[in-house]
Amino acid sequence: MKHFYFPKLLLVLCLFLVSCGKDEDKEEVPSNPVPTSMYFPPSSGDWETLTIADMQWEDAAVQPLQDFLSNTNTKSFMVLVNGRIVMESYFDGHTANDSWRWNSAGKTLVTAITGIAQQNNLLDIHNKVSYYLGNNWTSMPLAKEDLVTPFHLLTMSSGMADDTNLVTKANMTYVADAGDRWSYHNVFQKLFDVVASASNQDYKDYFKTGLENKIGMNGYWDFGPVFKIYFSDTRSMARFGLLALNGGKWEENQVVDADYFAASIQSSQSINPAYGYMWWLNGKSRYMLPKSQEEFKDKIVPNAPDDMYAAMGAHEQRIYVVPSKNMVVVRMGQAAQTSETHFALSSFDNLLWEKLNALIN
């Protein structure tokens, strides 16, 4: 009697191999893959979140980061990836509903609303400022005043004296031709007047309808005699960072013209290449600081990614935007009191990014 064992053994072997192949395929597909699509939170309601484990970040680095933030007088801190919240922390009694001052980080809001006014054909940043404010808005000779455009106000290159923060006609005097000198100065505040004149609206009203309402921000401007400061809750600051990460676009709405926004995060002049339209730019070979004409040969934040651009305000109010990681990082608080502090940059930035790198890399 003949027995046909070989075909049976072959059949069993084939079934085993197919079964193993299916098991391997299943193992290659994560059970909860991290979403890579860009997310925009609704104006109210829940904001989508991800966990440290979802991101496969280093869990052991979370507590050292939290300790650093607490020890540097932080009030609030957020990290977004693709628009979703990965970290959100509050300190010293501060809450998600509390407002805090942006200080000079709010300059980037002025950049945005100026671009929106241009997008709406209300102004041209390359027209002379006198076109919107009339002649003799400064104490410079008229021929020199006529050189100053909104572009120069956006890029801190108006050429005016910078020895006082009080912006009055008497204090706006000639030092150099517009475009020939970089100097961080409160004269950018004249953009409030330019936007108001061009739109024929109160600046605050135009800002609310043109920007705030479109991305769900909750804040207000406080116009003091010297400083004009924006206040908001932390999530509103993160919303603006998310708008910046997406090149001025919110969902399908191009809130800020794409070309204008792209220009705002590039070197705006050759004197200080680390400065755009009031955005600070990492990855450049040199930079200058507020209240100084000294040049420093380095990146503004060596520990941060080269493609990072940032809104920076006194006492370390920060929005860091990192396109290569689809990431937005926000910090609000009192002065960090690290080794050195300026109106914008401080040693805090590099120390913070050392902690962040331990977490995310």
Domains and CATH numbers, the chain: 52-360 (3.40.710.10)
In the DSSP assignment, the letter for residue 96 is T
- The DSSP call for residue 162 is -
Kind and range of the H or E element at 85? Answer: strand 84-90
Placement of tokens 């680390």 in the chain: 274
Distance, in Å, from the CA atom of 318 to the CA atom of 348, rounded to the nearest integer, reads 11
For residue 343, what pLDDT is reported?
A: 54
With 0-12 CB in 10 A as exposed, 13-18 as middle and 19+ as buried, what is 13?
A: exposed
Q: What is the pTM of this model?
A: 0.90
How many Å apart are CA 314 and CA 336, to the nearest integer? 10
- 117: nearest Cα among 196, 62, 57, 35: 196
- What is the C-alpha to C-alpha distance for residues 90 and 289, in angstroms, rounded to an integer? 30
Task: Report yes or no: 35 and 84 within 8 Å, Cβ to Cβ.
Answer: yes
pLDDT of residue 339: 53
Q: What is the pLDDT of residue 34?
A: 86
Q: Which structure tokens are listed for 50?
A: 């991800």
Residue by residue, pLDDT tens for the chain (361 residues) are 444 444 444 444 444 444 544 444 444 444 567 899 999 999 998 999 999 999 999 999 999 999 999 999 999 999 999 999 999 999 999 999 999 999 999 999 999 999 999 999 999 999 999 999 999 999 999 999 999 999 999 999 999 999 999 999 999 999 999 999 999 999 999 999 999 999 999 999 999 999 999 999 999 999 999 999 999 999 999 999 999 999 999 999 999 999 999 999 999 999 999 999 999 999 999 999 988 899 999 999 999 999 999 999 999 999 999 999 999 999 999 999 765 555 567 789 999 999 999 999 8
DSSP label of 171:
G
pLDDT the model gives residue 361: 87
pLDDT value of position 121: 98
